[in-house]
Amino acid sequence: MKNQQKYTALAVTLSLGMLLSACQQNSPKTQLTLTGSSTVAPLTSEIAKRFEAKHPGVRIDVQTGGSSRGLADARSRLANIGMVSRNLKGNETGEFQSFAIARDGISIILNTNNPVKILSNEQILNIYQGKIENWKQVGGKDAPITVVNKAEGRSTLELFLGYFKLENSQIKADVVIGDNQQGIKTVAGNPNAIGYVSIGTAEYDIERGVPIQLLPIGGVEASTKTVQNGTFPLSRPLLLVTAKPPSGLTKEFIDFAQSQEVYDIVKQQNFVPIATKNVAKTSVR
Amino acid sequence: MAKKKGVQKSEVRSQKSEVNFLPCSPASPASPSPHLPISPSPPPLSLLPTITVWAIALLVTATFAWIVGDIIWHGAGTISWEFLTTAPKNSGREGGIAPILVATGLILGVCLAVSLPLGIGTAILLAEFTPTDSWFGRLVRRSLDVLAGVPSIVFGLFGNVFFARTLGLGFSILSGGLTLACMVLPILIRSAEEGLRAVPNDYRLAAASLGLSRTTTLWQLLLPAAVPGLLVGLVLGIGRAMAETAALIFTSGYVDRMPQSLFDSGRALSIHIFDLSMNVSGGDTNAYGSALVLVVLLLLINGTAAQIADRWLHKF
């Protein structure tokens, strides 16, 4: 008898769950779901808000979970659009349609009072691993090097480590910082510091007279231009990907995210807008 | 037969705990039992353990004070009426946290609406209708203890697969709340069960001798007496739910729009803090502000629960 009651309770609970799921109505056409890279998500969220403001009744939900999740969800159609913060590799290029909405580039910054104007990749590697500890060793003044590193979890740190094939544990940092602004302030205030920050932010501050200089990487000048055209090595694209050629609202949103209408948002998030074809028409509806 | 055995067992248990039992306050720590042998004079070496214990206690308190102090120091400047009532702008660097507060409240509401009845029901079943050492009771208790120790990210992935996909709820406040309910249930059940078990067996026997039905005994006698224990579980559960990030990022999601219904995705406070401090450069100030709001909310909930428990004890 008692057992029977238990099973009844269980059955009621389960059927409640089923009922809830049945209640769920999905309204297609006016809603888009994007999932993927946590680096791209804040940017896409802002773009989505502007898009929603322009198209009343449209809802765009941005979810995170990492680039791989973005690809997986786009493949399984769980998301209309995936967000990826790296180049597509191997067979991914054939499987997905990708649309770059911005690029993220970082470079080494030094104080303008530092006479060093160029560092080879190997020198940078040695400085960050603590094998070179004095500017004298790389052609500078006789002064100890202050190594500024990013805090764990920052996407710029991942990009830096990935390019130089380093583990974060190998880096001997004197100062650990959180965001770009903090890195720029640290280097601007210390002539012996070396750091790396987002190129967009650094250029913005250099124009406003902050005493820092951007160093080239691998012989390529660090500027929004070289990031924009993809020649700067320490950079990556921020992509929107779809499993099939986009159409309807999906296409409209991707076009909008690539248009000049959102350049200010891209810059605001410290990324570099991509020079695309001049998108005159923004709305197809 | 099994029932009889259960009663005998619980009698034995109640006799054992009689000595240090204070009526109606199951959560109070056991006072030193007079039956325990106490050494006449402590040896001089006992000074060292004393210092160690005090040092550890101080260290724990200092760590807590430091963390809270740091959050208040950095976050107090951000808090304003506007911060609490406007939507985030520019990825949360500017603006407030209104939609995030609403989403957090809704997620918590769903979580409690589901987990409280289920939790208390299971606790009653375990404490009142199942003998302590029956295989069923032991199995349930063991599984609950294992569940209580499961990392939250596992619950998150489970919630994503089961609630968001299989049941088709998608990224929604409902998925998030239900996932949290699964996470909170073990804590809730176990503490509610302890609360019920701490009610002296004499109450049950007295009620039975007066000819009260088991249902009346349960509603009128046992549950009111177990309320402080239930509240402890509730506070622990709310604490775990409010602080949850990993389980929610895959279930309730990341959308910082004001939620219109339970089927909308909504960003919880803890996810907002995580996102501002990890993915948004220049978001640190508002991250501290949000963290301060979260801490204050938790303290308020704890304080209210303590007060209710206190009042209840006096009334009873």
- pLDDT per position as a tens digit, A234-271: 888 899 999 999 989 999 999 999 999 999 999 888 88
Indicate the SS3 state at residue A105.
strand
What pLDDT is recorded for position B176?
95
Look at the alpha carbons of A205, B279, B300, B55 in this order and tell me if their dihedral is positive or negative. negative
More confident residue, B25 or A132: A132
Q: Is the pLDDT of residue B275 over 90?
A: no
Question: Contact A24/B263, CB-based, under 8 Å?
Answer: yes
Confidence of residue B33 (pLDDT cuts 50, 70, 90): very low
Question: Contact A78/B165, CB-based, under 8 Å?
Answer: yes
Residue A168 in contact with partner chain B when CB distance is under 8 A: no
Residues 254-283 (A) with a CB less than 8 A from some CB of B: 268-270
List domains and CATH numbers for chain A. 30-103+237-273 (3.40.190.10), 105-228 (3.40.190.10)
A27 CA to centre of own chain: 30
Could you list the beta-strand ranges (E) of A131-184. 146-150, 175-177
What pLDDT is recorded for position A269?
85
Question: A146-150 and A175-177 as β-strands: parallel, antiparallel, unpaired?
Answer: parallel
Question: Contact B279/A46, CB-based, under 8 Å?
Answer: no
Q: Which residues contact A253 (CB under 8 A, 6 or more apart)?
A: A32, A48, A51, A60, A81
Q: Which of B252, B316, B306, B276 is nearest to B105 (CA)?
A: B252
Q: Is 3.30.460.10 the CATH classification of the domain at B71-315?
A: no
What pLDDT is recorded for position B311?
86
Residue ranges of alpha helices (H) inside B149-217 are 152-159, 173-197, 201-209, 214-216
- How many whole angstroms separate alpha carbon A43 and alpha carbon B280? 9
Nearest residue of chain B to residue A17 (CA atoms): B167
What pLDDT is recorded for position B6?
42
What pLDDT is recorded for position B2?
41
* Average pLDDT over all residues of chain A: 83
What pLDDT is recorded for position A9?
55
Over range B174-181, report the average pLDDT. 95
Minimal Cβ distance to B281: which of A17, A45, A180: A180
Which H/E stretch holds residue A44?
A: helix A41-54
Over range B110-117, report the average pLDDT. 94
Report the b/e string of A80-101 with b at 16+ CB within 10 A: bbbbbbbebeeeeeeebbbbbb
What pLDDT is recorded for position B184?
93
What pLDDT is recorded for position B132?
81
- Please list every residue in chain B whose beta carbon sits closer than 8 Å to the beta carbon of residue A41: 254, 275, 279
* Average pLDDT over all residues of chain B: 84
Confidence of residue B316 (pLDDT cuts 50, 70, 90): low
Over range B249-255, report the average pLDDT. 90
What pLDDT is recorded for position B37?
54
**Has this prediction a pTM greater than 0.80?**
no
